[in-house]
Chain A
Amino acid sequence: MSIWEYANPKKFMQTSAWALPWVTGLAAITLVAGLVWGFFFTPEAANFGTTVKIIYIHVPSAMMAINIWVMMLVTSLIWLIRRHHVSALAAKAAAPVGLVMTLIALFTGAIWGQPMWGTWWEWDPRLTSFLILGLFYLGYIALWQAIDNPDTAADLTGVLCLVGSVFALLSRYAVNFWNQGLHQGASLSVDKQENVSDVYWYPLLLCITGFILLFIMLVLTRTRTEVRLRRLKALEARERLA
């Protein structure tokens, strides 16, 4: 019993069909619970006001924006090395979700930044890196769309994801060097949880879990669609040939 069994499309379709309702339900419960708790049952921070509550969307979406790219990198590598179609299709399915997460992070950041810093947009390293990450997502998605042959597209986007990852990371450091900004450090991320008091931390954790489940649900659904489309394309190609 190997983990690669699940890379077989048939097996994947069966397993994901079984798992999808559970993931969807769990995602809905944790998201609703986390957001309601965060929005209505946490005290207002002294120096931030009500606006702080946007972190329950801002932080999880920002985390997902980065993590989804990492997930795409891993699945692209699996495709390039082991040639599992599902892996490449999962990367394809995840990209638009990642782009949307990046946009949510940027927009909620702007909405939060306006009252806090008095500006919608600042060329701050964190903001700028997210903008660049968004551009990488755009290029990746555009390359998938442009190429007809699905295997060629999978290979080329895989290579782009690999090279893009290195340059996205490089951009992150270059941007840091270019402008030391005004965004607070990673005070809200998991590894620095002691900076945030428990009152805010638990609902935030719930929201992060909710976003992760939401992503899994979306990516499973989208991958199932991509698998079906790919199958359709293979059947059509055979039809033309026969």
Chain B
Amino acid sequence: MLAIESLAVARGGVAILEGVSFALSAGQALVLRGPNGCGKTTLLRTIAGLQPPLAGRIVAPGDVIAYGAHADGLKATLSVVENLHFWAAVYGQPARVATALAEMNLAALAHRAAMSLSAGQKRRLGLARLLVTGRPVWVLDEPTISLDAASVELFANALRAHLGTGGAALIATHIDIGLVATATLDLTAHKARAPQDGGAAGGFDEAFA
């Protein structure tokens, strides 16, 4: 579904990760680990198509990736259900709003304005947005931030259901979500070398080659 082949990514024109390779098939989840600043977000943004890779390939059929970032992209003045309807319309999946609300336990809050939600409730709405996209590959950046234990359980259930129906997920997180069939990739092993040590040249390094 998603295959990464010796990918190198750069932040601010400097290579930070190199030689990242993995493949995700239906029903699989991969958890990315590594200390802060090691390049998890950059890697996810590259895979989501927001920035070009420095080297390597991302092999995926078109329109499979749903990206979930730190920021949820919620509009404070719109209600929960209006926010979801917007994204459902963008992805052409208007029928999914009701199930997404139910799965993330937001039905009771459906008509509250997003600005009156707590941080955890907003996060749940952000995850509900993911459900309405209907995309099979979830690429998630710290999805459980500011969630309480019960909400993490909700998310884990939704993720299990997603994997059970042939989806896949790539997740950067620090906590254990409690999934059985999860592979883990530690990014510290893929720290980019400096160009003079044979690492990928980024930004202005080609300059003095």
Contact = CB atoms under 8 A, between A and B. Distances in A.
Given A238-B194, A242-B194, A150 B13 contact: yes
Contacts of B208: 9-10, 231
A1 interface: no
A151 B13 contact: yes
Main secondary structure of the interface of A (DSSP, over half): helix
A241 to B, nearest CB: 6
Contact of B13 (A8, A149, A227): A149
B16 interface: yes
B37 to A, nearest CB: 8
Interface of B: 12-14, 16, 194, 203-209
Interface string A136-166: 0000000000000111000000000000000
Instruction: Give the contact-size bracket for chain A.
Output: 10 to 19
B105 to A, nearest CB: 41
Contact of B207 (A149, A231, A242): A231
Contacts of A81: none
B169 to A, nearest CB: 28
Interface in A1-25: 8-10
Contact of B205 (A149, A227, A234, A242): A234
Contacts of A8: 206-207, 209
B203 A234 contact: yes
17 contacts: A8-B206, A10-B207, A10-B209, A85-B206, A85-B207, A150-B203, A150-B204, A151-B13, A227-B207, A230-B204, A230-B207, A231-B204, A233-B204, A234-B13, A234-B203, A237-B12, A238-B194
B13 to A, nearest CB: 5
Given A8-B209, A10-B209, A241 B204 contact: no
Given A231-B208, A241-B16, A242-B194, 20 more contacts: A8-B207, A8-B209, A9-B207, A9-B208, A85-B204, A85-B206, A150-B13, A150-B204, A151-B203, A227-B207, A230-B204, A230-B207, A231-B204, A231-B207, A234-B13, A234-B203, A234-B204, A237-B12, A237-B203, A241-B14
A3 B42 CA distance: 35
A151 B205 CA distance: 13
A150 B202 CA distance: 13
Contacts of A151: 13, 203
A154 to B, nearest CB: 11
Interface in A224-242: 227, 230-231, 233-234, 237-238, 241-242
A9 B194 CA distance: 19
Contacts of A241: 14, 16
Contacts of A230: 204, 207
A230 B12 CA distance: 12
A147 to B, nearest CB: 12
A10 B16 CA distance: 24
A13 to B, nearest CB: 9
Contacts of A9: 204, 207-208
Nearest to A151: B13
B209 A234 contact: no
Contacts of B12: 149, 237
* CB-based closest 3 A-B pairs: A234-B204, A9-B207, A237-B14
Interface in A186-242: 227, 230-231, 233-234, 237-238, 241-242
Interface string A82-96: 000100000000000
